[in-house]
Structure 1
């Protein structure tokens, strides 16, 4: 699948080949508390997985991406928001993926073209730039190939 949009030299959504070192996924009720609920679940998972990056920042990125679905995108009919955390290797990047039912990302190009200092602090996406991460999105398709929404992906580096 060819990516729709990308930024910060990200080659589109990163595809995971083989079995990742760690993988965690969940679906949470899409309400005004989704960001805080996901932060409570992500922090212990990243700690137990011993991800070598900044766990506090990664936790905040997850919360903001989930909040953005409720505030700016569209929920799936079951009113939940899906999140995946993937560590392709034990000491590498963390891939955060969030799915929603809106097959567009209004304002994406403006948000990511704010310059090398990152996205404006008024957006939750600022945390991706703060972590020196990359942000991308692509259309989400069902098994038959029909577009059902999008996946937003933040790739966060491990600590040096």
Structure 2
């Protein structure tokens, strides 16, 4: 089965009954991505998620790394990582949040084929693992835009050779 392009839509942030939800504030520095990867592996193993844990850890690393490199830290000099399982499909939602409400060239990033074009990097991995990439602004309780959340949704199982 050839890789498919990621969907480029605004994400619905609400999930009524998420499975194994977890949230981590991560210091916004060059170690944030690897830190996200290290946190994901044991959590998903503990949660008994049926998907590819190494792929999910890599995607978490890339989402968080992009939030640090291309976003803006949240108060406290952090970015956040949130992960949860979707109860109906057992897909995995991985979210990174930062304080920059824009995502320049999102359509270009999200609609990749998943086929290597040179050295693979960044959010290309989401498409390569047959995931969907979405984003939306985040707002405070008063409705003021305070940043963005980028979400990758990965399938629980895939029979590909990745």
TM-score, length basis structure 2: 0.85
Looking at structure 1, the residues matched to 41 and 154 of structure 2 have their Cα atoms a distance apart, in angstroms, of 15
State which drifts further: 70-79 or 96-105: 70-79
Distance 1:61 1:146, change over 3 A: same
> How many pairs are equivalent?
153
Structure 2 counterpart of 1:19: 17
- What are structure 1's unaligned runs of at least 5 residues? 1-6
Structure 2 residue aligned with 1:52, among 50, 53, 78? 50
Looking at structure 1, the residues matched to 120 and 77 of structure 2 have their Cα atoms a distance apart, in angstroms, of 26
Structure 2 counterpart of 1:117: 114
Q: How does 1:23-38 map to 2 (within 5 A)?
A: 23-38=21-36
Q: Report deviation, 1:36.
A: 1.0
Distance 1:93 1:36, change over 3 A: same
SS in 2 for 1:89: coil
Q: How does 1:11-160 map to 2 (within 5 A)?
A: 12-89=10-87, 92-114=90-112, 116-117=113-114, 121-160=119-158
Whether the 8 Å contact between 2:64 and 2:79 is mirrored in structure 1 is yes
Looking at structure 2, the residues matched to 46 and 93 of structure 1 have their Cα atoms a distance apart, in angstroms, of 12
